[in-house]
């Protein structure tokens, strides 16, 4: 009976096997208690439910995605610091973390950073900004959007639960079999990993479909594809990548699950299984995934560099084609992740050359950005700092990428820290810096006040300094031959580099702390940072043409677009911010609890499968599909914002706008900026 | 900046709606239906990748018999032929149903042909179930070899899709009972029809690659 | 959209009937080839492959109504792009894993 009720779950699942695990689990539980307690104390449950959890507004969903990613970022950065500390003391010594725990740490660090930090971060930013840039009122399928958020969050919650109940996988973020098969990893760890990934990749596939249809069908009249902001182009490309690259991952993880649960033989050593099938499929997903992670940053930099150089983006068309070719080429290079599998040299040569080809469109982009800055009126805002750091560091990372694209070189540094240094060098400047600049750039649009500038610069300094200190030494030790994922090492020559890397990790931790402080002081001083007029950076695209924060319907009237940078042009011609002659009722999608129900039941489904609680598997699956089916019988899915209300909101804002003194270009970062900037002459 | 006139998006072509709603609503419903159908096409293409991966895995595992029974011993090609006919006929009746729905707006005929579709789907599924039981009886269980795992997964995934289609049909009957053939129900039927035709296309791959190429190997 | 819905309806109905007949024939040919064993093995394989490709096209044209008209342009582009990706993924997988099998075999 007990076994029927709880499956494999028992007292020994509690994290008392090591002090560090106990502390980590207590922090998670304590954090949850504090969050629940403070919501209760602030009497926020009703507002949380009706304004956030059941909201299908793309802006709110976007913000919730970013919240998820910040929580997960904090956990994964702390894990990175713990691992760096271990390696700093690991010369000829077991250090303070046993091997199995160390393996859990690098597995969760990688899994979280890719699937639960990077993906929610970029999806959140797109969710917020892309429909605004297109001149749309929402995405094509708002309820599906909230289901996507629900599934991704369910995966993230599963990751957090794995800290408290049972041990996580030790198979690395790629989860290669046969090690992750039942015979070598009998615990629940790999199951946690499988279901967290499957949930999030289903959510991401749905997001891809949603974004692609939104871009195809919901652009403002007159906005042809070649008049879209470049950020939307990258959104289109990553949606296509998500639509086509997530399925191989889903298939690979589900086949691994079938091996583990149903005793099948896809990737086992015995009875005809072939682990390379897994590796092949994983990277059919994995390489496009790299570009899902990097293209958004390219999009953000294209926006911020143009805005803060006060110049039209140089070579718009070439940037579009470069983006599209990167997206297509990304489907042709997956084999470079397993050059050492044992295939023919000619196969390696083909994929090596294809890999090097990607450097060409990427190079085009870097030159386009440089030429956008050339003779522009550059304002060194926080996003601009990130963009500058990116352009230098990303070229270094790209160069090591071209080195690794050479199979001969790859054989040498395969599985060493050189590789670890390379992909962190791509993903920190190429993803995280991009997303952090997006966060600074659009935060005032989302919440109506700017983030503190000084702390923004401190965060930037910590991230760049921390990154350089933490990862440049790894190139050297990698070339010297230090394997990645080492819990202990025996070469004295590695040791000094490990100390430098630890210092870098400490600085990154400071960056994380500074982010918390920045958010805190910005919220406290929000009144002096307000930019209600809505255009604090002298923006060029449609999202800056409305109030900050935007009204729920985004645009009182859908704008007509006849060029790239239509809003900037309208400002030049003094036709921007014109009150429409008439207001209409605006239909908006009504709130729906389906996304939240899918989150809860999806998470319960994953948890129940992990612990073999079969009755809960059935119940949660029924709740999941039942809520979607029941929703299809609901015809009361729209809500009307009456024209009177629209008129009042708009007139209030237009009045405030006319009373806002425009700030000089040079004073953009002072409290004089109320959301309107004078065009420099 | 100029603004657009509300309720008049770019004109859309493609879906015929036989209802008497006022023109602007009709236009809006058509635009929404078009968006939903395009979105469904995108989903189908994503699903196509799932099937492609299953096919690719299957193809790489044709040698992985591990001494167990192979396609010649396990596959009943007559049963596969019957399944092919059942599914093909169901695709046809499904097409007829959408035809009556879109041009005639006839609830009776639409439902009749969708019910026939459902029955043919059930025939297909029972034949497939029978095949699976026969295979297992001959020792062809999925845990026996890599090749068997891959075949069960590929055929089973298709079967699960058909089952989903049948359940979806049942749900749609309930929707017709509640709402009649209103525009939303119609677009849902259109998507269901796309799904159904798509599964028939996948089946062409299965009977050609798994069954036919299997028994002559 | 053509002016006469009745003509359009008739055309579509004929399309479904033609689709059914063609598809039945194109399924019957490979099944017959395998069941009778009248052809050499390579011939059977080619028959199966060509009949399957033709049948897929029949289904797309007559059941899924994908054609070159303007109103289906988005769908057609999408399908062609998906086809490219499928060819890359499946072709690549067969090549890479086939090569590995030959090398390590």
Residues 6+ apart with CB under 8 A from A9: A165, A166, A611, A613
B19-40: b (≥16 Cβ within 10 Å) or e: eeeeeeeebbbbbbbbbbbbbb
Mean predicted lDDT score pLDDT of chain A = 94
Flag whether A32 is in a domain: no
The answer to whether A450 and A531 are in contact (CB under 8 A) is: yes
Of B38, B64, B150, the CB nearest to A217: B38
CA distance A551 to chain C (A): 32
Of A218, A247, A272, the CB nearest to B145: A272
d(CA A239, CA A205): 8
**Reduced to 3 states, what is the DSSP secondary structure of residue B18?**
coil
d(CA B87, CA A507): 63
Of B57, B96, B200, the CB nearest to C16: B96
d(CA A464, CA A385): 10
- φ, ψ (nearest 5 deg) of residue A332: -115, 10
Which tokens hold the place of A34?
A: 């504090």
Flag whether B183 is in a domain: yes
How big is chain C by its Cα radius of gyration, in Å?
19
Identify all chain B residues contacting A251, using CB atoms and an 8 Å cutoff: 50, 53-54, 57
Residues 6+ apart with CB under 8 A from B133: none
Q: pLDDT tens, A142-152?
A: 999 999 999 99
Residue of C38 and A188 predicted with greater confidence? A188
Residues 6+ apart with CB under 8 A from A77: A508, A509, A512
Q: pLDDT tens, B3-40?
A: 765 544 333 333 444 344 444 667 777 888 889 999 99
Position of tokens 């090749």?
B147
Kindly list the partner chains of chain A, i.e. chains with 3 or more CB atom pairs below 8 Å: B, C
Share of chain C above pLDDT 70, in %: 96
Of C74, C97, C99, the CB nearest to A344: C99
Kindly list the partner chains of chain B, i.e. chains with 3 or more CB atom pairs below 8 Å: A, C
Q: Is C31 on the interface with B (CB under 8 A)?
A: yes
The answer on pLDDT for B204 being more than 70 is yes
Residue of B nearest to A633 (CA): B175
CB burial of residue A479 (10 Å; 0-12, 13-18, 19+): middle
d(CA A274, CA A272): 6
Mean pLDDT of A56-81: 96
Residue C35 to residues A320, B155, C29, C32, Cα–Cα distance (Å): 54, 21, 10, 5
Task: Please state the domain count of chain B.
Answer: 1
Test C45 with B14 for CB contact under 8 angstroms: no
Residues 6+ apart with CB under 8 A from A169: A104, A107, A175, A180, A185, A189, A190, A192, A193
Lowest-pLDDT range of A69-73, A335-339, C2-6: C2-6
Identify all chain A residues contacting B57, using CB atoms and an 8 Å cutoff: 251, 255, 266, 277, 281
Flag whether A681 is in a domain: no
d(CA A548, CA A445): 5
Structural domain for A412, as ranges = 44-592+637-667
Task: Tell which C residues from 76 to 105 touch B, by Cβ distance under 8 Å.
Answer: 78-79, 82, 85-86, 89-90, 93-94, 97-98, 101
Mean pLDDT of C30-57: 92
**Helix H or strand E segment including B35:** helix B23-60
The answer to whether A171 and A242 are in contact (CB under 8 A) is: no
The residues that bridge with A640 in the sheet, in sequence order, are: A587
Test A276 with C97 for CB contact under 8 angstroms: yes
CA distance A113 to chain C (A): 26
Neighbours of B160 (CB within 10 A): 11
**Reduced to 3 states, what is the DSSP secondary structure of residue A663?**
strand
Residue of A nearest to C101 (CA): A343
**Reduced to 3 states, what is the DSSP secondary structure of residue A532?**
coil
In this prediction, residue B29 carries a pLDDT of: 76
Mean pLDDT of A265-280: 94
In this prediction, residue B10 carries a pLDDT of: 37
**Reduced to 3 states, what is the DSSP secondary structure of residue A677?**
strand
Helices (H), B61-182: 71-74, 77-99, 107-137, 146-179
Task: Please state the domain count of chain A.
Answer: 1
Flag whether A10 is in a domain: no
d(CA B210, CA A323): 39
In this prediction, residue B11 carries a pLDDT of: 34
d(CA B204, CA C30): 11
Q: pLDDT tens, A363-409?
A: 999 999 999 999 999 999 999 999 999 999 999 999 999 999 999 99
Mean pLDDT of B153-161: 97
> Closest Cα to residue A7, out of A456, A618, A577, A627?
A618
Task: Tell which A residues from 138 to 157 touch B, by Cβ distance under 8 Å.
Answer: 140-141
CA distance B141 to chain A (A): 9
Identify all chain C residues contacting B56, using CB atoms and an 8 Å cutoff: 89-90, 93-94
Which tokens hold the place of A268?
A: 């086992």
| DSSP-assigned letters across all residues of A590-654 | PP-SHHHHHHHHHHHHHHHHHTT-HHHHHHHHHHHHHHHHHHHT----EEEE-HHHHHHHHHHHH
DSSP annotation of A452 reads: P
Interface test with A, best of C86, C95, C100 (most A CBs within 10 A): C100
The answer to whether A628 and A143 are in contact (CB under 8 A) is: no
Tell me the CATH number at A500: 1.20.210.10
Flag whether B129 is in a domain: yes
- Residue A677 φ/ψ region, left for φ over 0, alpha for ψ in the -120 to 50 degree band, beta for the rest: beta
Q: pLDDT tens, A397-436?
A: 999 999 999 999 999 999 999 999 999 999 999 999 999 9
d(CA C103, CA C96): 11
Flag whether A606 is in a domain: no
Q: Is A244 on the interface with C (CB under 8 A)?
A: yes
- Residue B108 φ/ψ region, left for φ over 0, alpha for ψ in the -120 to 50 degree band, beta for the rest: alpha
Which tokens hold the place of B50?
A: 């799932």
> Closest Cα to residue A536, out of A657, A620, A412, A634?
A657
Residue C1: pLDDT band (50, 70, 90) is very low
Residue A597: pLDDT band (50, 70, 90) is very high
Tell me the CATH number at B139: 1.20.120.80
Structural domain for B162, as ranges = 23-59+74-215
**How many residues comprise chain A?**
681
Position of tokens 């930013």?
A125
Which tokens hold the place of B126?
A: 């029972």
d(CA A28, CA A649): 42
How big is chain B by its Cα radius of gyration, in Å?
21
Whole-structure pTM value: 0.94
Test A559 with B188 for CB contact under 8 angstroms: no
Residue A110 to residues A73, A125, A424, B191, Cα–Cα distance (Å): 11, 21, 11, 38
- φ, ψ (nearest 5 deg) of residue A97: -120, 125
> Closest Cα to residue A422, out of A435, A433, A410, A434?
A410
In this prediction, residue B15 carries a pLDDT of: 40
Quote the ipTM score.
0.93
Q: Is C74 on the interface with B (CB under 8 A)?
A: yes
Q: pLDDT tens, B46-98?
A: 999 999 999 999 999 999 999 999 999 999 999 999 999 999 999 999 999 99
Mean pLDDT of A611-615: 95
Flag whether A226 is in a domain: yes
Task: Tell which A residues from 310 to 349 touch C, by Cβ distance under 8 Å.
Answer: 331-332, 334-335, 341-344, 347
């Amino acid at each position: 009976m007990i076994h029927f009720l709880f499956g494999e779950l028992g007292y020994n699942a509690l994290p008392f096997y090591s002090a560090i695990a106990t502390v980590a689990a207590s922090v998670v539980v304590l954090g949850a208690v504090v969050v629940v307690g403070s919501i209760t104390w602030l009497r926020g449950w009703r507002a949380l439910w009706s304004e956030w959890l059941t909201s299908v507004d793309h802006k709110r969903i976007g913000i919730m995605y970013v919240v998820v990613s910040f929580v997960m970022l904090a956990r994964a950065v702390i894990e990175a610091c713990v691992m760096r500390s271990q390696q700093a003391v690991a010369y000829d010594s077991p250090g303070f973390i046993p091997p199995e725990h160390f393996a859990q740490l690098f597995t969760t660090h990688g899994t979280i950073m890719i699937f639960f930090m990077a993906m929610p971060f970029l999806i959140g930013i797109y969710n917020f900004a892309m429909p605004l840039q297109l001149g749309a009122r929402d995405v094509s399928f708002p309820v599906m959007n909230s289901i996507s958020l629900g599934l991704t969050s369910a995966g993230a919650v599963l990751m957090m639960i794995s800290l408290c109940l049972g041990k996580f996988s030790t198979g690395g973020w790629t989860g290669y079999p046969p090690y992750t098969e039942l015979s070598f990893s009998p615990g629940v760890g790999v199951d946690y990993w499988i279901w967290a990934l499957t949930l999030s990749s289903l959510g991401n596939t749905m997001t891809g479909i949603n974004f692609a249809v939104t871009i195809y069908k919901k652009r403002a009249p007159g906005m042809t594809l070649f008049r879209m902001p470049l950020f939307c182009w990258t959104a289109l490309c990553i949606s296509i990548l998500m639509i086509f690259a997530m399925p191989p991952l889903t298939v690979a993880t589900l086949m691994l699950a079938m091996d583990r649960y149903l005793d099948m033989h896809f990737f086992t050593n015995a009875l005809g299984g072939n682990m390379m099938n897994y590796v092949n499929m994983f990277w059919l997903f994995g390489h496009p995934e790299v570009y899902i992670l990097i293209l958004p940053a390219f999009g953000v930099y294209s926006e911020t560099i143009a805005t803060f150089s006060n110049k039209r983006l140089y070579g718009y068309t070439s940037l579009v084609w470069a983006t599209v070719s990167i997206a297509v080429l990304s489907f042709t290079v997956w084999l470079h992740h397993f050059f050492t599998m044992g295939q023919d040299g000619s196969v390696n040569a083909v994929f090596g050359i294809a890999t090097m080809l990607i450097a060409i469109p990427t190079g085009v982009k870097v030159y386009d950005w440089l030429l956008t800055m050339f003779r522009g009126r550059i304002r060194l805002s926080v996003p601009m700092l990130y963009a500058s750091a990116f352009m230098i560091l990303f070229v270094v990372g790209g160069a090591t990428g071209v080195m690794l694209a050479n199979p001969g070189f790859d054989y040498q540094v395969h599985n060493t820290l050189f590789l670890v240094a390379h992909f962190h060098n791509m993903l920190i400047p190429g993803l995280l810096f991009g997303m952090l600049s997006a966060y600074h750039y659009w935060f005032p649009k989302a919440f109506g006040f700017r983030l503190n500038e000084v702390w923004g610069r401190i965060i930037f300094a910590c991230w760049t300094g921390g990154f350089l200190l933490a990862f440049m030494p790894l190139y050297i030790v990698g070339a010297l031959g230090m394997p990645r994922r080492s819990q202990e090492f025996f070469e004295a020559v590695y040791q000094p580099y490990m100390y430098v890397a630890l210092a870098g990790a400490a600085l990154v931790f400071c960056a994380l702390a500074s982010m918390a402080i920045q958010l805190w002081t910005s919220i406290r001083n929000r009144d002096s940072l307000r930019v209600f007029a809505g255009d604090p950076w002298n923006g060029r695209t449609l999202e800056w043409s409305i109030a900050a924060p935007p009204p729920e319907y985004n645009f009182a009237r859908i704008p007509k677009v006849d060029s790239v940078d239509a809003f900037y042009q309208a400002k030049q011609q003094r036709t921007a911010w014109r009150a429409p002659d008439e207001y209409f009722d605006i239909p908006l999608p009504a709130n729906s609890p389906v996304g939240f129900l899918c989150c809860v039941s999806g998470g319960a489904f994953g948890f129940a499968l992990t612990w073999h609680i079969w009755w809960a598997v059935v119940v949660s699956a029924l709740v999941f599909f039942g809520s979607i089916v029941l929703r299809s019988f609901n015809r009361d899915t729209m809500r009307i914002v009456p024209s009177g209300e629209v008129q009042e909101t708009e007139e209030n804002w237009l009045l405030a706008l006319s009373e806002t003194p425009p700030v000089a270009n040079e004073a953009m970062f002072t409290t004089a900026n109320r959301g309107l900037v004078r065009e420099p002459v | 900046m100029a603004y657009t006139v509300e309720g008049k998006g770019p004109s859309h072509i493609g879906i015929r709606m036989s209802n008497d709603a006022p023109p602007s609503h009709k236009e809006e419903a058509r635009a929404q239906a078009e968006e939903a159908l395009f979105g469904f096409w995108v989903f189908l293409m994503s699903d196509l990748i799932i099937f492609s991966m299953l096919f690719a895995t299957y193809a790489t595992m044709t040698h992985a018999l591990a001494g167990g029974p192979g396609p010649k011993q396990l596959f009943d090609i007559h049963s596969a032929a019957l399944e092919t006919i059942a599914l093909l006929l169901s695709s046809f009746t499904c097409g007829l149903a959408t035809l009556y729905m879109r041009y005639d707006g006839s609830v009776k005929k639409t439902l009749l042909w969708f019910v026939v579709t459902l029955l043919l789907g059930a025939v297909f599924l029972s034949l497939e179930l029978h095949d699976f039981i026969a295979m297992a009886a001959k020792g062809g269980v999925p845990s026996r070899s890599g090749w068997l795992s891959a075949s069960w997964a590929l055929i089973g995934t298709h079967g699960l899709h058909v089952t989903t289609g049948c359940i979806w049909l049942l749900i749609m009957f309930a929707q017709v009972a509640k709402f009649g053939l209103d525009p939303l129900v119609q677009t849902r039927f259109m998507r269901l029809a796309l799904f159904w035709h798509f599964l028939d296309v996948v089946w062409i791959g299965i009977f050609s690659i798994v069954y036919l190429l299997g028994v002559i190997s | 959209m053509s002016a006469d819905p009745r003509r359009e309806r008739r055309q579509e109905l004929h399309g479904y009937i033609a689709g059914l007949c063609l598809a039945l024939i194109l399924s019957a040919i490979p099944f017959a080839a395998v069941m009778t064993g009248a052809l050499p093995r390579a011939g059977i394989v080619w028959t199966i492959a060509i009949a399957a490709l033709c049948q897929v096209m029949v289904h797309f044209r007559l059941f899924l109504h994908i054609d070159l008209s303007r109103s289906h342009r988005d769908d057609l582009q999408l399908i062609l792009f998906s086809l490219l990706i499928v060819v890359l993924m499946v072709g690549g997988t067969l090549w890479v894993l086939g090569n590995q099998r030959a090398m390590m075999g």
